[in-house]
Amino acid sequence: MAAVTADQISSIRATNEIVEETVAITTSNTVYLGTLAVFATTGRVANATAAASRRFAGEVVEIINDSGALISAGTGNTAGTVKAKIRYGHQLLLGVKTSSRTYTNLGKNALVFTNVDIGGTSVGTAGVRIVVGQIAQFDASNKSTAWVWLRQTGDVAATA
pLDDT digits (tens, 9 = 90+) for 48-99: 998 888 999 999 999 999 888 999 889 999 999 999 999 999 999 999 999 9
pLDDT digits (tens, 9 = 90+) for 111-121: 999 999 999 98
pLDDT the model gives residue 159: 67
Strands 83-88 and 91-96, how do they pair?
Answer: unpaired
Rounded to an integer, what distance in angstroms lies between the CA atom of residue 63 and that of residue 129? 26
Asked if 83 and 23 touch (Cβ cutoff 8 Å), the reply is: yes
Nearest to 57 by CA among 72, 71, 47: 47
Tell me the helix, strand and coil percentages in the chain, rounded to 5.
10, 40, 50
3-state secondary structure of 123: helix
Question: Is pLDDT above 90 for 160?
Answer: no
pLDDT the model gives residue 57: 96
Record the pTM: 0.92
- More reliable by pLDDT, 68 or 39: 39
pLDDT digits (tens, 9 = 90+) for 10-36: 999 999 999 999 999 999 999 999 999
Question: Is pLDDT above 90 for 158?
Answer: no
Average pLDDT, the chain: 92
From residue 80, give the alpha-carbon distance in Å to each of 34, 75, 152: 21, 10, 22
pLDDT the model gives residue 124: 76
